[in-house]
Amino acid sequence: MDSQQKDPRRDGPDPFRFPKWTNAIRLPVTLAAALAPLFILGLLYLLFSPGATSVGYQPAQPVPYSHQLHAGLLGIDCRYCHTGVETGAAATLPPTSVCMNCHATVRAQSEKLQLVRESFATGMPIPWVRVHDLPDFVYFDHSAHVRRGVGCESCHGRIDKMEVVRQFAGLNMAWCLECHRDPVPHLRPEDAVTVMGYVPDEPQIELGRRLRDARHITPKTDCSTCHR
């Protein structure tokens, strides 16, 4: 190619010049470009936070059972219905027969209890909707926690104040680890485990430390503690 072919002089005037304002915006633009990734990451982090995804989950139940009434006003102990909580991994939902222990006589004709009576008659279980749902690869054992003196409240919140049960905590791994690394704030005497709104006579920290050392409570943070 001959060296004159592309000489700009013959190709007429400069086709374009960047206007003056482009100088004004260069700093903000550069900064925005630099910070964008951080912004997006932060956004995702919040988007997937348990607070955003699971806390406060409150499905409608087939039977309008009120914890507020039973556990709160009537003060029925958690273990009356959730019998497995001290012996097994699952706290267990009560069989319909347990409901009928009282409701055979109390409010025997109530509309709300229609499904309960039906279930009792047919023997088909009531399909309660699971509220506190851990991922399938997590193995949580109620007895292991309750028997160490971790209050129901610590994970389930003030059930006695819930008309319909609502998910109280994030139930994500980081949340579990908090307590497994330092159980002290959550330890109670065994008789106070099911108490709602429990207030220790001494500062919780001292109580917790005492109970921890007394019962040799050393929660693990190994994979195998919860995953099998």
DSSP 8-state assignment for residue 14: -
Q: Report if residue 63 touches another protein, rule: CB under 8 A.
A: no
Q: Report if residue 39 touches another protein, rule: CB under 8 A.
A: no
**Number of residues in the chain:** 228
Q: Report if residue 222 touches another protein, rule: CB under 8 A.
A: yes
- Applying CB under 8 A, what is the total number of residues that bind another protein? 75
Residues 157 and 151: their CA atoms lie apart, in Å, by: 9
Find the binder of another protein among 31, 36, 40, 53 (CB under 8 A). Answer: 53
Three-state secondary structure call for residue 150: strand
Q: Report if residue 143 touches another protein, rule: CB under 8 A.
A: yes
Residue 155 near residue 168, CB atoms below 8 Å: yes
* Piece of 71-79, 107-115, 138-146, 198-206 that binds another protein (CB under 8 A): 138-146
Residues 160 and 143: their CA atoms lie apart, in Å, by: 21
Q: Report if residue 18 touches another protein, rule: CB under 8 A.
A: yes
CB of residue 109 to another protein, shortest distance in Å: 21
DSSP 8-state assignment for residue 187: B
Stretch 67-86 residues interacting with another protein (CB under 8 A): 83-84
Stretch 100-129 residues interacting with another protein (CB under 8 A): 120-125, 127, 129
Residues 124 and 168: their CA atoms lie apart, in Å, by: 30
Q: Report if residue 38 touches another protein, rule: CB under 8 A.
A: no
Positive or negative, the Cα torsion across 69, 73, 74, 75? positive
Stretch 170-209 residues interacting with another protein (CB under 8 A): 170, 172-174, 177
Residues 33 and 170: their CA atoms lie apart, in Å, by: 34
Q: Report if residue 43 touches another protein, rule: CB under 8 A.
A: no
Residue 98 near residue 116, CB atoms below 8 Å: no
Find the binder of another protein among 31, 89, 104, 205 (CB under 8 A). Answer: 89
Q: Report if residue 135 touches another protein, rule: CB under 8 A.
A: yes
Find the binder of another protein among 93, 102, 164, 195 (CB under 8 A). Answer: 93
Q: Report if residue 9 touches another protein, rule: CB under 8 A.
A: yes
Q: Report if residue 221 touches another protein, rule: CB under 8 A.
A: yes
Residue 159 near residue 196, CB atoms below 8 Å: yes
Which residue, chain included where needed, has tokens 């994500």? 172
